[in-house]
A and B are shown apart, each in its own frame.
Chain A
C-alpha cells in the first residue's frame, strides 16, 4: 500500500546499523549474548539507539520537581525510564535482527577475509539464472537491442518502406525482443565442517564460551560460501563422541584429555561419509592444549598428517589460554606444521582475541 514509504527508511536505518555493527564487530564478537540470541537463521543484535547529537543540558542531577504527599526529606519517587533518562545519548536499547548470512558478510568485510575457492563436486544443487533464448515479452531492462532492431528492419523491408540510402528504422512494440532466462540447477561444491572441542576439566566455562563464540562466527562464514553445508560436532575429554549442535553449545563435561580420541573419531566420520573428491572438508579443533601424554601428541600429529591433510581443505587448531592447562599442544602443532599451508594454528588469549583468531584461521582463503 502506498503509505508504507517507511520501509525504505527502515531499510536505511538497518544499513546505518549494519555499518555500526561492522565497526563494533569486535565488541559484538566478544559478547556472549549474541550466540544465545540466535533463532533459526536470524540473530537479534542489541544495539544502542542512535541519537542525533544535539546541544543539550547534561543530566539534571541537582534539582527536580515532584507532586504528591510527603515530608521534606522523604522519598520523592524515583524517575524510571522517564523523560530525564531519555535525554541521554544511547540509553535506549533496540533489537535489530540480522540473518546469519548478513553477519557473515560483515565479518568478511571487516576482517577482509579472502573468499573461499571451493573444490570438488557433489550432487548438492545450486540454482542460477541462465539466458536461454529470446522471447516476445519481458521487462524493458532485458530488451535485446540488436534483435529488436533486426526485427524492425525485417518488418520495414517486408512492408517495402526501407530505403537503403536513407535508412530510418523505428521499432514498434511488436518488434521488441527480450532476453529470456531460465532457472537452472547445477551441481555445486559442498562443505562439511567438523568442530572438535575439548571439554576436559581444564577447559573452564570461560574457555568453552570463547570456543562457542568462535564456532558461531566460523560457522556463519563457511555456511555463507557453500550451499551444501554440513556441520558435525564432536566433543572430547579422554574419549570423544559426536553430539548435536545444541549439546555442543551447552554441554559441560569434565575429565582427562586425550586429543587423539577426537581426531580418530573425526577421521572415521570423514572416511565413512565424506569422500574428499566431493567434499570440502574443514576440521577445526579447539582445546586448551593440555593433552594427557606426550605419546598422544605424537599420535595426533600422525593423524593430522595421514588422516586429515590428504583430504581436507585446511586443518585448523585454535588454543584457548587457560589457567590450568599446560598449553603444550600449540607448540607441538607449530613445530610439526609450522610451514604447512593447509594447517592453520591460532592462540586465543581472551574474548577480545576472538576476532584476530578467526582472521588467522580463515585468512588463508582455503
Chain B
C-alpha cells in the first residue's frame, strides 16, 4: 500500500532495516489478532524533535503560541535532567503517525509499535472517536495559517492575547456535542421558529372608524406590525432555549466578536473537540494498547535476551504510584478481567443471582466469548460507562482498591474504606469530572441587560475561585458585558459575577432568576402590547 509522502522535511526517516522488519512482523501479528487500524507511519525522531512534537501535542504544525514554547522548554529541561523521556506518541489521523525516539533500545521500539497499533485500532473503531476529523494534520496546518494571517493583519500580540482568552475557556465545551444532533443551534433555531410562528396576540392596528380601517391600516402596514411583533417576541425569547453545555459554541454563535476573533474562537473550539475523546477514553485507550502490547510481546515478539529490558520498561508503564490512578494499569486489568469473565461465561442473570463464593470461583461455562467481548467493549464504551458497567466487586477486591481521605491530625492521606460501593462511587466521580466542572449557559440576557449567566452543576466539589475569577474576567472580555456564574462554595449557593474589572460574590438573586423565567413566560403578552 502506498502511503502519502513523508511530511517531515529535511531528513530521511525510513526506519532502519531491523526496525522495518520488526514493524512488518508486528503489523501482521496485530492484524492476525483482529486489530483493525489505519495505516500507521512510524517516524524516527531525535529527542529534540520528539519534545517539540509533544509540545505541539503530536502535530508538526500548530498555530503560533507561547505555550508550546513553554512546554517545549519544560520538556527539554526535564529530559536533560533525566526526569522523563517520551517513549511513544501517536496521533489520531488517517494515516496515523507514530513517533519513535531514535535512541531507544530495539526492544523498546518493538513495545512501542505493538502499543501504537492498539491505539490506532482504538482511534479507528471507538465510536467516541468517530466524529473526529481524521485529516487533522491538515486541519491543524490550516489553523496555523489562519492564525498567522490574522497575526499579520492585527498584530501578533493582539491575536496571541485573544488566543489566551479562548484557551482559558476551551474546557467549557460539550464533549458529547458531536453525538447530539438535537439542538445544535438552539439560539438561531428559536429565532427562526419565532419568525414563522403565527403571532398569538391580535395584530396592533391604529384605532379608527370601521370604514377608514382599510385605508389607515392597509395590509402592508399590518404585515409590518406583525413582523415587529414577531421580532419583539423573538427578542424576549430566552436565549438559549435550554441550558447549553457547549459554552464555546454558544459564544461562537452569539458573542459580539470581530470576524477574526470569531474565527480564532472557532478553531480553538474545533481543536478542543478534537482532543475531547482522548480525555473521555484515557483509561480504555491506554488499557487497550497495553492489553495488546503485553499479549503480543510476551507470546510472539520477545527474544530471550530482550525479556529483562521489556519487563523493566513494561513494569514502569503499569506501575501504581501511591495516591494516583494509573490509567494504563486500571485499563489493562479491567480488559483482562472482562476477557476472563466472558471466556468463562461469568455474566447474565444466573451469574448475578449466584451468591456462593465457591461456586463463583469455579464458574466456567466454557463460553469463550472473551475476545469478541473486549472488541465490542472497545468499540462502544467510554471511561465512565466502562467503569460503571464492568467494575465489579470481585475486580475491586482483586485489585485492592480503596478510598482515601486526609487524616485531619497528620494531614496525610490514609485508607478510608475498602467498601465496593464507596470505591466505585469515588472512581466514577473522579473519571466523570476529570477536573472540569460541568457548566451551562442558562441565560444570555440576564437581568434584561444582555449579561451572560452560567450555571455550574455542582457535584460535591467547589470550583477554584482564584482561577474562576480569571476565567470569568476573560469571559466578560469576550462577551462584552458582565458574566455571572451560579455555583456553590462550602455548601452555600453563590453567584460569582465579573463585570470585566473585578469579581464580586453575592448570594444568588432568586428574584433575578425568577425575573428571567418571568420574562420568558410573559413574552407573548409583552410582544402584544402596542
Contacts and interface: CB of A to CB of B under 8 A. Distances in A.
A6 B53 CA distance: 9
Interface string B1-23: 00000001111000000000000
A66 B160 CA distance: 41
Given A12-B65, A12-B160, A3 B10 contact: yes
B123 to A, nearest CB: 23
B99 to A, nearest CB: 11
A1 B320 contact: no
B470 interface: yes
Contact of B321 (A69, A75, A82): A82
Contacts of B466: 89
Contact of B414 (A61, A75, A79, A92): A75
B172 A78 contact: no
B433 A57 contact: yes
A65 B9 CA distance: 46
Interface stretch (A45-53, A266-274, A306-314): A45-53
Given A68-B320, A72-B416, A6 B400 contact: no
Contact of B437 (A4, A57, A89): A57
B412 interface: yes
A94 B69 CA distance: 12
B415 A67 contact: no
B9 A55 contact: no
Given A78-B322, A92-B74, A56 B437 contact: yes
B325 A52 contact: no
B78 to A, nearest CB: 10
B403 A65 contact: yes
A164 interface: no
B403 A63 contact: yes
Given A2-B9, A54-B171, A55-B171, A10 B462 contact: no
A41 interface: no
B61 interface: yes
Contacts of B426: 63-65
Interface string A307-330: 000000000000000000000000
Residue of B68, B70, B403 with most chain A CB atoms under a 10 A cut-off = B70
A68 to B, nearest CB: 5
A12 B320 CA distance: 38
A80 interface: yes
A153 B399 CA distance: 89
Contact of B164 (A52, A60, A73): A52
Contacts of A62: 405-406
Contact of B64 (A8, A67, A76): A8
B223 interface: no
B297 interface: no
B320 A67 contact: yes
B417 interface: yes
A102 to B, nearest CB: 16
Nearest to A4: B52
B415 A3 contact: no
B437 A50 contact: no
B413 A89 contact: no
A76 B464 contact: no
A78 B171 contact: no
Contacts, number: 205
Interface size class, chain B: 35 or more
B171 A9 contact: no
A226 B527 CA distance: 76
A5 B59 CA distance: 12
Interface residues of A, number: 55
Contacts of B61: 5
Nearest to B473: A53
A96 interface: yes
Contacts of A16: 66
Given A56-B463, A57-B435, A89-B467, A68 B413 contact: no
Contacts of B439: 55
A1 B11 contact: yes
A58 B405 contact: no
B135 interface: no
A174 interface: no
Nearest to A9: B69
Contacts of B170: 54
Nearest to B65: A9
A11 interface: yes
B472 to A, nearest CB: 8
Contacts of B468: 55
Contact of A9 (B64, B325, B329): B64
B441 to A, nearest CB: 13
A65 B402 contact: yes
Interface in B285-326: 320-325
Contact of B69 (A1, A14, A61, A83): A14
Contacts of B325: 65, 67, 83
B68 A3 contact: no
Contacts of B254: none
A11 B65 CA distance: 10
Contacts of A95: 77
Interface in A221-278: none
Given A12-B69, A78-B412, A79-B323, A3 B427 contact: no
A71 B402 CA distance: 10
B73 A10 contact: yes
B66 A68 contact: no
B55, B67, B437 interface centre (most CB from chain A within 10 Å): B67
Given A55-B468, A57-B463, A3 B49 contact: yes
Contacts of A52: 67, 164, 167-168
B471 A55 contact: yes
A50 B470 CA distance: 13
Nearest to A1: B10
A94 B433 contact: no
Contacts of B324: 79, 82-84
B474 interface: yes
Contacts of A15: 66
14 contacts: A1-B10, A2-B8, A4-B52, A6-B52, A10-B69, A53-B470, A56-B436, A60-B461, A65-B402, A66-B401, A66-B403, A76-B414, A82-B324, A89-B466
Given A5-B61, A12-B69, A66-B402, 15 more contacts: A8-B69, A10-B69, A52-B167, A52-B168, A55-B468, A57-B435, A58-B464, A59-B464, A63-B403, A67-B329, A67-B400, A72-B418, A78-B322, A94-B70, A94-B74
Interface of B: 8-11, 48-49, 52, 55-56, 60-62, 64-70, 72-74, 77, 156, 160, 164, 167-172, 320-325, 329, 399-406, 412-418, 423, 426-427, 430, 433, 435-437, 439, 456, 461-468, 470-471, 474
